[in-house]
Amino acid sequence: MRRKKIAILGSTGSIGRQTLDVLSAFKDDFEVIGLAAGKNVQLLAEQIKEHNPRFVSLTDSSLAQELKSILKNPALEIFWGDMGLEFISSCSCDIVVNGLVGSLGLKPTISALSHGKRVAFANKETLVIAGNLIKDLIDRYHGEIIPLDSEHVAIHQCVNNAKKEDIKRIILTASGGPFRTWAKSQIQSATKEQALKHPTWVMGQKITIDSATLMNKGLEVIEAMHLFDISHKQTDVFIHPQSIMHSAVEFVDGNIIAQLGATDMKLPIQYSLYYPERKQLPFNLFCDLLSVGKLEFEKPDYERFPCLKLAYEVAEKGKSYPIVLNAANEIAVDMLLKEQISFDKIATIISDSLETHVACEPKSLEEIIQIDKDARNKATELKKRIKQVMA
Ligand SMILES: NC(=O)c1ccc[n+]([C@@H]2O[C@H](COP(=O)([O-])OP(=O)(O)OC[C@H]3O[C@@H](n4cnc5c(N)ncnc54)[C@H](OP(=O)(O)O)[C@@H]3O)[C@@H](O)[C@H]2O)c1
């Protein structure tokens, strides 16, 4: 059988690297045709030597030139910038893995779906800001999105093509992050280093901070609404510190189906690449439930984790609010990572951005981009004011 051709957006990131680990274990079934990275030229060069793609892309032309001089491979086509991402996402591949972080993933997703591709989808921010547009594109060009995020892969398996009216609710689980047991006053003054110490998952910096604020779960609630066509009222978030049950679906007849497995992204990545097939797991990652011993569940605390509450409010309001939520969060997280604000100011910036937003119903990509841009500018202004207070 012909090997499936894979393009990876964000190949040098956490999702991208783990996708390549999975592909290395299944060389008879897949070939890597395209890789898009940001700035990590050295790692991209190593990935190219190992996986031999035809097309690659980097953020700008000087990085592309640097890569060219390292590799001296005339057969390799090197692109850069937005055009590079667009080219890789619409190249002659069967599956595009979207492991980009933030709203940067929107245009390449549109490009892949407009070419009828299957997208193995980790980049939740894109669905948060443009879920309706993405659904229209899938209908129009017959592409598809297969979730890759562990919670949505879990839900995908539990739903298993069940009728929509049979689903009572979806239960998304969250580890609770590093501050699960901390008092509100401790969380407010948490440092960047403390926020980056995730108790159960090793991930990129942005999602790790989002997990500490619980915004990650809020984004996932909105992502689930789009992926599974449900209302936010049909979602619940449970804190589950063991991170073994990745999510569950409760049906109208009282049955709950949950998906359990090791805390390792290679499992959902393998699922997403092979769906609807299943393949023998090539890694020693089978979950020993006896050694896990117990599974605990807690209600999330909106007082200590206001970002999750903000996300639920936005899920209810809809319109352009999710775009503002996401943009303000991206700006605020970036500022925490640069140590320009304290941890508690992430929620302040998002809440202030939402409060002053005049909502509209975005219909086109251009409108979404403009709202995103305006929201970033406003959040940046807010962050400048916070900086002045801190100085
Ligand atoms: N990590 C996980 O375990 C996990 C689990 C579930 C869902 N997700 C979701 O998956 C997405 C990716 O997360 P991650 O943790 O893998 O992020 P990450 O480790 O920060 O990786 C981001 C990737 O995007 C690339 N990139 C950044 N700016 C770029 C640009 N301008 N052009 C092209 N590429 C650019 C980076 O390249 P360089 O490094 O070369 O600059 C890197 O390859 C997020 O939406 C996250 O919420 C992640």
Q: Is 323 within 8 Å of 372 (Cβ atoms)?
A: yes
Q: Which of 203, 227, 267, 270 to mutate to test the pocket of ligand 1 (most atoms within 8 A of CB)?
A: 203
Please name the amino acid found at residue 263: T
Residue position matching structure tokens 């490009």 = 111
* Alpha carbons 285 and 34: distance in angstroms, whole number: 28
For residue 370, what are its two tokens?
């403009």
For residue 333, what are its two tokens?
């997280």
Per-residue pLDDT of the chain (391 residues; tens, 9 = 90+): 899 999 999 999 999 999 999 999 999 999 999 999 999 999 999 999 999 999 999 999 999 999 999 998 989 999 999 999 999 999 999 999 999 999 999 999 999 999 999 999 999 999 999 999 999 999 999 999 999 999 999 999 999 999 999 999 999 999 999 999 999 999 998 999 999 998 888 899 999 999 999 999 999 999 999 999 999 999 999 999 999 999 999 999 999 999 999 999 999 999 999 999 999 999 999 999 999 999 999 999 999 999 999 999 999 999 999 999 999 999 999 999 999 999 999 999 999 999 999 999 999 999 999 999 999 999 999 877 776 655 5
* Alpha carbons 292 and 245: distance in angstroms, whole number: 11
Other Cβ atoms closer than 10 A to 93: 25
Is any ligand 1 atom within 6 A of the Cβ of residue 33?
no
> Is domain 4-148 in CATH 3.40.50.720, yes or no?
yes
Fold of 319-391: Rna Polymerase Sigma Factor; Chain: A (1.10.1740)
Measured from the Cα of 210, ligand 1's closest atom is 47
Name the residue with the closest Cα to ligand 1, atom 17: 204
Q: What φ, ψ does residue 120 adopt, rounded to 5°?
A: -85, 115
11 CA distance to ligand 1 centroid (A)? 8
* Alpha carbons 300 and 312: distance in angstroms, whole number: 12
* Alpha carbons 137 and 131: distance in angstroms, whole number: 10
E strand or H helix that includes residue 257: strand 256-260
Is any ligand 1 atom within 6 A of the Cβ of residue 261?
no
Measured from the Cα of 100, ligand 1's closest atom is 24
For the chain, the structural domain boundaries read 4-148, 150-317, 319-391
* The pLDDT of residue 199: 87
In terms of DSSP H, where are the helices of the chain?
A: 14-25, 41-51, 61-71, 81-89, 106-114, 124-141, 150-159, 184-188, 192-195, 205-213, 215-228, 266-274, 289-292, 306-317, 321-337, 345-355, 365-390
For residue 56, what are its two tokens?
């690659």
* The pLDDT of residue 388: 60
Which residues on adjacent β-strands are paired with residue 199?
none
* Alpha carbons 272 and 368: distance in angstroms, whole number: 28
* The pLDDT of residue 286: 98
15 CA distance to ligand 1 centroid (A)? 7
